[in-house]
Amino acid sequence: MSQHHVIVVGSGIAGASAAFALARRGSAVTVVDSALTGQATAASAGIISPWASTAEGPAYELYAAGTAYYPRVVELLAEAGVERTDYRRTGALLVSADPARLAEAQARVEARARTAGAIVGTIRRIGNDDVRALVPVLASDLEGVYVSGGARVDGRTMRDALLNGAAHYGAVTVSGQARLRPQGAPQVEVGSQVLEADDVVVAAGAWANELLEPYGVRLAVEPQRGQITHLRLDGVDTSGWPSVNPLSHHYLVAFDDSRVAVGATRETGSGFDARVTAKGQWQVLSDALGIAPGLAEATLIETRVGLRPLPGTGLPIVGTLPGAARVHVVTGFGAAGLTMAPLTGDALATSILDGRTPAEIAAFAP
C-alpha cells in the first residue's frame, strides 16, 4: 500500500510545522520552498509568553495552547535527532514606568496562570534594581513583573529544526515557484514539474491568496511589514536574559551570542515591499533605546524584514478549503506564528490523516 502523499507549499514556520507533523506520522511529504523575499519566519525572533497578551477568546486559547505544546515539540525533534531549536525558557519580563499598568498586566497573568498551569512558573513584582539585575541595559525608571515560565525562540533556527526533523522521516524539499492546478487530484506545478498528491497544504503566509487564485478563493489575509534589528553587545553574556515586553508593540529578545533582537514595526498596508526603510529603522531604534538606553553603544548587525500574514478577522485561518476537500490552508498568524504554528501544524496533520478536526483548530476553518 502506497504512502499518503502530502505536498506542503511554504517552508516558513507554518509549513515546516505541518511537514514535520505529517512526516512523523508516516506520510510521504514534499515541501515546496519558493524562497520568497520577506518570509516572516526568516525575520522573526519570538517571545513565547502569551499570558500578558490582550488577546481574548479562541485567539488567546490557541496562543496559550501553542506555548504549552513547545516542550513537547522540542522532545519530538530530539527523537528525530534534531537538538538545536534555540528555544529556551529564560523568563519573561514585563516592564513599565506606570505602576497601574504593571498591576493590570500582573493581574491578567495571574488570572490566566490558574488555567494555564505549571508552565507559567512563578510571577513576582520587582523594582528597578531587580529589573536591571536581570537585564542591565534597561532604563532606571522601569519596574517589572517577572514571569519565570516565559521563553524565547529564533525563527530561522526553529524553522530549520522542523524541516530537518521532517527530512529525518523522509520528507523532501523542492525549490521553485509553486502554482496549484485545481482540476482532478491535487496537483502543484513547480517549474517544469507537475507534482501530484493526495492532499496539499497551502502554508504560504502572506502569499496564500496568490496560490489560491485558481480556486477562485480569497482569504482575509494581507502582508504586514515587520522590521526587526539585531544588535551585538560585545563581551556581554546575554544568554540568560529574559525577554522584555514593555506592554507595547515592541520588545527585546536576547540570545546566546551576545545578540539582542529589538523590534518590531507593524506596518499594515505595506504590500509585498520587504525593504528596510529609514522610518522603520528609526522607529525600531527609538523604541529600543527608550526602554534600554544601555543598548546605545551596541553594534548594529543587521535589520531583518518579514511580511507577516495579517488576518482581517484577527484570527488565523486553518483547515480545509471549502469546495476543495483535499486542499488545506494554514496562514494568518500575524505576529504570533512562532508560538502558534507548531501546535497548529500538528493538529492540521491529525485533521488530514484521521479525518477529524482537533478542538485546537476547530474555530479557525477557512
pLDDT tens-digit readout, 204-239: 999 999 999 999 999 999 999 999 999 999 999 999
Nearest to 247 by CA among 59, 103, 34: 103
pLDDT at 91: 98
Residue 251: inside a domain, yes or no? yes
DSSP of 127-177, one letter per residue?
Answer: -HHHHHHHSTTS-TT-EEEEETT-EEEEHHHHHHHHHHHHHHTT-EEEES-
Alpha helices in 151-300 (DSSP H): 155-168, 208-212, 278-291
The CATH number linked to 96 is: 3.30.9.10
Q: Does pTM surpass 0.85?
A: yes
If asked whether residues 233 and 296 sit together in one domain, one would say: yes
If asked whether residues 258 and 144 sit together in one domain, one would say: yes
Confidence of residue 185 (pLDDT cuts 50, 70, 90): confident
pLDDT at 332: 97
Residue 122: inside a domain, yes or no? yes
Partners of 30 in beta bridges? 7, 172
If asked whether residues 109 and 207 sit together in one domain, one would say: no
From 309, 325, 345, the end of a domain falls on 309
The CATH number linked to 24 is: 3.50.50.60
Q: Which residue has the cell 494554514?
A: 330
If asked whether residues 97 and 16 sit together in one domain, one would say: no
- Model confidence over 98-123: pLDDT tens digits? 999 999 999 999 999 999 999 999 99
Confidence of residue 46 (pLDDT cuts 50, 70, 90): confident
Residue 57: inside a domain, yes or no? no
If asked whether residues 133 and 264 sit together in one domain, one would say: yes
If asked whether residues 162 and 136 sit together in one domain, one would say: no
**Per-residue pLDDT for 330 more than 90?**
yes
Residue environment code for 40-59, b if the CB has 16+ CB neighbours within 10 A, otherwise e: bbbbbbbbbbbbbbeeeebb
If asked whether residues 254 and 128 sit together in one domain, one would say: yes
pLDDT at 90: 96
**Per-residue pLDDT for 34 more than 90?**
no
Residue 69: inside a domain, yes or no? no
From 294, 309, 324, the end of a domain falls on 309
Cis geometry, peptide bond prior to residue 65 (ω within 30 degrees of 0): no
C-alpha–C-alpha distance, residues 328 and 219, integer Å: 12
Other Cβ atoms within 10 Å of 131 Cβ, number: 23
Partners of 146 in beta bridges? 93, 124
Task: Report how many domains make up the chain.
Answer: 2
The domain containing residue 162 runs over which residues? 5-42+156-221+313-364
What residues contact residue 204 under an 8 Å CB cut-off, 6+ apart?
9, 10, 15, 34, 178, 210, 211, 331
Partners of 267 in beta bridges? 225
C-alpha–C-alpha distance, residues 357 and 63, integer Å: 18
Cell of 258: 551576545
If asked whether residues 95 and 208 sit together in one domain, one would say: no
Q: Residues 205, 307: contact at Cβ < 8 Å?
A: yes
Please say whether the dihedral angle defined by the alpha carbons of residues 101, 103, 107 and 113, taken in this order, is positive or negative.
Answer: positive
Nearest to 50 by CA among 61, 39, 36, 34: 61
If asked whether residues 333 and 261 sit together in one domain, one would say: no
